[in-house]
Amino acid sequence: MDRIAITGGARLEGEIPISGAKNSAIKLMAASLLTDEPLRLTNMPRLADTRFLGKLLQRLGAEVVESEGEDGSETLLRTREIVSGFAPYDLVRQMRASFNVLGPLLARTGQAKVSLPGGCTIGARPVDLHLKALEALGARIDLHEGYVYAQAPGGLKGGHIEFPFNSVGATEHALLAAVLASGETVITNAACEPEMVDLADCLNKMGAKVSGAGTSTITVKGVTSLSGATHAVMTDRIEAGTFAVAAAMAGGEVRLTCTRSDLIQALLDKMVEAGVEVIPHSDGVTVKRDASRRLRAVEVETDPYPGFATDLQAQFMALMTLADGESVIKETIFENRFMHAPELQRLGADIAVHGGEARVRGVEALEGAQVMATDLRASVSLVIAGLAARGETMVNRVYHLDRGFERLEQKLGACGAQIRRIKGDGEEED
């Protein structure tokens, strides 16, 4: 397995362009199953997760062509015909979001057999809300031997879907199914994340009639068919937030481009509170910090958008390991999402975890060590910590990173970070 080695202490200076959003791209790719015409997605990130989903879509009948166009990386998807409604475990298990092919398959063909996604290292994350949403649209759902058997021989029907709590994945899944359901569907207590708006915008370009995305109530007026479209994937707010924290951790001045500061406002507010200088501009934000001055400890509690993103919690914890005082970090979205804490402790961090709360007592300095990545966001928190740690930090099992960060080492390296990838065969990448 590949590893990443970081020699800490280098000041970061330069510019980092932010890629298209992973969390949006994979749902947009699933939307290609809803039409027999081409869906062209620009500003596409090249990630392990998009490759995994591409393989699954090809098995179901899609043509998937990656290229470099005038607007950067793009992917052309076309599913002239659904050749199989079967999504097997060996593909679905590689990425939870691939379970969201169930709704589009059901909406277009009236039947599907999709593997349950299985466990997750950051919590149970059950799919019962997904299935109840499809049942509200008239689907018959059976579970057998780890698979979901879904049928709607007469087509899906519009209905009222009310979620008991905010669920991004379930809201997106309901939206993907409802656009081809006959009649009107109203989704209440819907997730309000920007990726929801991006998905709705793309579906509307394809001929869907979706209103209210980005609010707690989404209304969908079903149509009989969708057409092809061209859509630019929104900027990745989690990548933007991650590099913002990295710049603050290492010290220096980094300009993040191809993004929007308002998408990570909750994070930026906490960074300013901690003593980091943040300068928004028209195409992103600049982050500045004098590393000779200690940060201030602050309290953070994760919340659905526009609150502090759970996907930035691990990164911010890494930043707080060097703050003056004690910071309290409360995780309210996922259980078991503090697995990075023991690895940060290997670098000398002082962290005490009690249930959904972590208390971080800042230390004067971190020391490089061997650490192990446990999930995507935890992985990058270790890289961030390594940027400031004395000596060398070796992050193992970085395949997690490749799921959600495009050219991480190159982007940080271009700003002066001493970072390199060591391939599984022992060779170092240039």
Over the stretch 155-192, which tens digit does the pLDDT of each residue have? 999 999 999 998 999 999 999 999 999 999 999 999 99
User: CA 250 to CA 317: how far, in whole Å?
Assistant: 14
- Give the domain-ending residue among 232, 257, 287: 232
Q: Residue 288: give the domain boundaries.
A: 3-19+235-422
The answer to whether residue 77 sits within a structural domain is yes
Q: Residue 427: inside a domain, yes or no? A: no
Q: Looking at 195, 212, 232, which one is the last position of a domain? A: 232
User: Is 239 found in the same domain as 345?
Assistant: yes
pLDDT over 90 (residue 413): yes
Question: How high is the pLDDT of residue 122?
Answer: 37
In this structure, the answer to whether residues 256 and 312 fall within a common structural domain is yes
Q: What is the structure's pLDDT at 425?
A: 67
What is the average pLDDT score of the chain? 94
The pLDDT score that the predictor gives to residue 118 is 60
Same domain (yes/no): 196, 278? no
Distances from the Cα of 33 to the Cα of 28, 61, 107, 177, 200, angstroms: 10, 9, 9, 11, 15
Q: Output the pLDDT for position 424.
A: 81
pLDDT tier, 91 (very low <50, low <70, confident <90, very high otherwise): confident
Mean pLDDT of 270-275: 98
Q: Please say whether the beta carbons of 352 and 326 come within 8 A.
A: no
My answer on whether 40 and 102 are in the same domain is yes
395: in domain: yes
pLDDT at 416 over 80: yes
| pLDDT higher than threshold 60 for residue 134 | yes
What's the CA gap between 126 and 116, in Å, rounded?
9
Task: Say yes or no: 269 and 357 in one domain.
Answer: yes
Binding residues for phosphoenolpyruvate, as ranges, are: 22-23
In a domain, 430, yes or no: no
Q: Residue 153's pLDDT is what?
A: 92
Residues annotated within the binding site for UDP-N-acetyl-alpha-D-glucosamine are 96, 125-129, 311, 333
Higher pLDDT, 397 or 295: 295
User: pLDDT grade, residue 29 (50/70/90)?
Assistant: very high
Residues 191 and 317 in one domain: no
Which positions make up the binding site?
22-23, 96, 125-129, 311, 333
- Res. 126: pLDDT tops 80: no
Task: Look up 202 and say whether it is catalytic.
Answer: no
Residues 82 and 48 in one domain: yes
Rounded to two decimals, what is the model's pTM?
A: 0.95
Q: Are residues 304 and 269 in the same domain?
A: yes
Q: How many domains does the chain have?
A: 2
Q: For residues 346 and 371, is the Cβ–Cβ distance under 8 A?
A: yes
User: Taking the C-alpha atoms of 193, 197, 198 and 201 in order, what is their torsion angle to the nearest 10 degrees?
Assistant: 170
- The confidence band for 429, taking pLDDT boundaries of 50, 70 and 90, is low
- Whole-angstrom distance, CA of residue 3 vs CA of residue 52: 21
pLDDT at 426: 64
Q: What percent of the chain clears pLDDT 90, i.e. is strictly above it?
A: 86
Question: Domain for residue 31, yes or no?
Answer: yes
**Are 47 and 11 within one domain?**
no
**Is residue 197 a part of any domain in this protein?**
yes
pLDDT tens-digit readout, 287-328 = 999 999 999 999 999 999 999 999 999 999 999 999 999 999
* CATH code of the domain in which 97 resides: 3.65.10.10
Same domain, yes or no, for 303 and 174?
no
Confidence band of 124 (pLDDT split at 50, 70, 90): very low
* Residue 331 pLDDT greater than 80, yes or no: yes
Angle value at C-alpha 317, between 311 and 321, nearest 5 degrees: 165
Rounded to 5°, angle at Cα 369 from 363 and 373: 100
Same domain, 287 and 355: yes
Q: Are residues 96 and 240 in the same domain?
A: no
Looking at residue 374, what is its pLDDT?
A: 83
Measured distance CA(385)–CA(342) in Å, rounded: 13
Q: 214, 232, 250 — which closes off a domain? A: 232
Per-residue pLDDT tens digits for 199-222? 999 999 999 999 999 999 999 999
Look at residue 429 and tell me if it is in a domain: no
Whether residue 145 lies inside any domain: the answer is yes
Q: Crossing angle for the helix pair 168-178 and 194-205, nearest 10 degrees?
A: 10
What pLDDT was estimated at residue 231?
Answer: 98
Residue of 120, 202, 258, 415 with catalytic role = 120
